[in-house]
Chain A
Amino acid sequence: SQQGEEDPQALSIQEGENATMNCSYKTSINNLQWYRQNSGRGLVHLILIRSNEREKHSGRLRVTLDTSKKSSSLLITASRAADTASYFCATPSNFGNEKLTFGTGTRLTIIP
């Protein structure tokens, strides 16, 4: 089973609205990362949040992490058409493990 599970699986919103995606994971982690994938392309790293951090910002992105609930959320504010993509959370499979395990992703569509 996936270490990370995103919800919703798909999300469509109007341009200018905010988009929120959630991720749940199963094991202890030392960090959680979010990536974006445009159709037919490789993944691009967006933001990394460490296990001792609760919130992190990067431009229009805001990530939260709740280690007690083993969950994270990604908020994209003032969405743009260019934000249309799939978004994945990723965690080390086990604490200190050297590989990232990706969730199934949220497909975000921004309607102009």
Chain B
Amino acid sequence: NAGVMQNPRHLVRRRGQEARLRCSPMKGHSHVYWYRQLPEEGLKFMVYLQKENIIDESGMPKERFSAEFPKEGPSILRIQQVVRGDSAAYFCASSQGGLSTNEKLFFGSGTQLSVL
């Protein structure tokens, strides 16, 4: 019963390149959340998705960032034309139901993105 799987664990990109971060939720979970964490800070919400739908993307920059959770396959967080300020740890979490039903989140180990 694997937990939330994120890959890659570490990703190095040069400025202007694209970064693709993948997240496979826990088995049976259809709700996926992406968070970003800067060093010594808390987690900042980016986007909440259910299968094939973006529910809330209020925390995601409108330019260069996009997210999807297709019917088949993992959720993808895509950052185009990366800049140094995108360097951070990106965490994915999943839940079985919505959080308004007192669900808890299960987190992956994160992807550390470094932009050179």
Q: Are B105 and A45 in contact (CB under 8 A)?
A: yes
With contacts A96-B100, A98-B99 taken as known, whether A44 is within 8 angstroms of B55 at the C-beta atoms is no
Residues on B with beta carbons closer than 8 Å to the beta carbon of A96: 100
Q: Are A99 and B45 in contact (CB under 8 A)?
A: yes
Residue of B41, B42, B105 with most partner-chain A CB within 10 A: B42
A33 within 8 A of B: yes
Q: Are B45 and A43 in contact (CB under 8 A)?
A: no
User: In this complex, what residue of A is CB-closest to B47?
Assistant: A99
Q: Are A88 and B42 in contact (CB under 8 A)?
A: yes
Q: How large is the interface on B (under 10, 10 to 19, 20 to 34, 35 or more residues)?
A: 20 to 34
Residues on A with beta carbons closer than 8 Å to the beta carbon of B100: 30, 92, 96-98
User: In this complex, what residue of B is CB-closest to A88?
Assistant: B42
Q: Are A30 and B43 in contact (CB under 8 A)?
A: no
Q: Are B43 and A48 in contact (CB under 8 A)?
A: no
How many interface contacts (CB-CB < 8 Å) are there between A and B?
67
Q: How large is the interface on A (under 10, 10 to 19, 20 to 34, 35 or more residues)?
A: 20 to 34
| Cβ contacts B77-102/A at 8 Å (1 or 0 each) | 00000000000000101000011101
A41 within 8 A of B: yes
Q: How far is the CA of A100 from the CA of B95 in the complex (A)?
A: 11
User: In this complex, what residue of A is CB-closest to B56?
Assistant: A99
Of B59, B93, B102, B105, which is within 8 A of A30 by CB?
B102
Residues on A with beta carbons closer than 8 Å to the beta carbon of B35: 102
Q: How far is the CA of A43 from the CA of B92 in the complex (A)?
A: 10
Q: Are A100 and B42 in contact (CB under 8 A)?
A: no
Residues on A with beta carbons closer than 8 Å to the beta carbon of B31: 98
B113 within 8 A of A: no
Besides A102-B35, A105-B41, 13 other A-B contacts (C-beta < 8 A): A35-B107, A40-B110, A43-B43, A43-B93, A43-B105, A43-B107, A96-B100, A98-B31, A99-B56, A99-B99, A100-B33, A102-B44, A103-B42
